[in-house]
Amino acid sequence: QQTVFGVALSGPAGNKCSGDQYIMSRIDFKAPKSTGHLPYDILVSGDRVYALAVKFRIAINFPDLSMMGSNSFMSIMCAPGAIEKALKEAARGTAAATSTQHS
């Protein structure tokens, strides 16, 4: 059995880098907006959980994003690791994932 979950990240108090609002405010600055980037998808297949690598997912959804400068990958350098950690916590259902919402 397989189920896909959409995970919205509010960003825990101590780590704003994983919050959707923080990330999108830095990289989603062109029209049309890239709202389709959210939420992050995780696939649960039996007892295994799968998700696209965060850096890859951001790169394919924002192909015009430069590496350096304002509104660039460098402006969210802390985000991929924080997002990956939040997705793992959501998949495990740990207490640290209470700020992560499942839709």
DSSP assignment of 43-89: EEETTEEE---HHHHHHHH-TT-BSSSSSBGGGGTTHHHHHHHHHHH
Q: In this predicted model, what pLDDT tens digit does every residue of 3-18 receive, in sequence order?
A: 999 988 887 666 677 7
Considering the domain boundaries, does residue 101 fall inside one? no
Give the Cα separation of 35 and 101 in Å (integer).
Answer: 17
Considering the domain boundaries, does residue 17 fall inside one? yes
Range of the domain at 16: 2-96
Q: In this predicted model, what pLDDT tens digit does every residue of 24-76 receive, in sequence order?
A: 999 999 888 888 899 999 999 998 999 999 999 999 999 988 999 888 888 89
State how many domains the chain has: 1
Q: What's the predicted TM-score (pTM) here? A: 0.75
Considering the domain boundaries, does residue 16 fall inside one? yes
Q: In this structure, what token pair is assigned to residue 52?
A: 């696209």
Indicate the pLDDT class of residue 88, thresholds 50, 70 and 90.
confident
Q: In this structure, what token pair is assigned to residue 81?
A: 């690791």
Indicate the pLDDT class of residue 94, thresholds 50, 70 and 90.
low
Considering the domain boundaries, does residue 102 fall inside one? no
